[in-house]
């Protein structure tokens, strides 16, 4: 087997294992953890102003120093929020699940 064939085989194995890992919660019914990307958060001057991710268990980025009013308003798909110690204040209705008008 030449070098390019070995590389192709390794890539195929990585893709297969990635697919299996992604489908495991579907087949076994376990809760899936969704990791929020920093790009899912609108942060201005350290204040989280909005979250636009898919929800699940999320962690506020450590660059945040505050969570603004209604930052997660209407995000009923969030199951838990981990807030880093860098966050010193949390605004009003930051976690309300009511839809925005």
The pLDDT tens digits for 11-60 are: 887 888 776 666 555 555 445 455 567 788 999 999 999 998 888 888 99
Mean pLDDT of all residues in 59-87? 89
The pLDDT tens digits for 76-100 are: 788 888 999 999 999 888 776 644 4
The residues near 35 (Cβ < 8 Å, ≥ 6 apart) are 58, 59
- Secondary structure E strands in 7-92: 41-44, 47-51, 56-59, 66-67, 78-82, 89-90
Instruction: Give the tokens for residue 41.
Output: 């958060």
State the Cα–Cα distance between residues 58 and 62, nearest whole angstrom.
Answer: 12
Angle at 82 between CA 78 and CA 84, to 5 degrees: 145
Output the pTM of the full model: 0.60
**Residue ranges per structural domain of the chain:** 1-30, 33-101
Mean pLDDT of all residues in 62-77? 88
pLDDT band at 73 (very low <50, low <70, confident <90, very high): confident
- Checking if the pLDDT of 5 tops 70, the result is yes
């Amino acid at each position: 087997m030449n070098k390019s064939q070995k590389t192709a085989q390794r890539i195929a194995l990585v893709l297969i294992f990635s697919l299996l890992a992604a489908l495991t919660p579907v087949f076994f019914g376990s809760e899936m953890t969704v990791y929020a990307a920093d790009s899912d958060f609108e942060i201005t001057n350290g204040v989280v102003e909005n979250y636009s991710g898919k929800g699940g268990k999320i962690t506020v980025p450590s660059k945040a120093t505050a969570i603004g009013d209604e930052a997660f308003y209407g995000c009923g798909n969030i199951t838990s929020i981990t807030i880093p110690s860098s966050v010193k204040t949390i605004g009003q209705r930051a976690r309300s699940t009511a839809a925005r008008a």
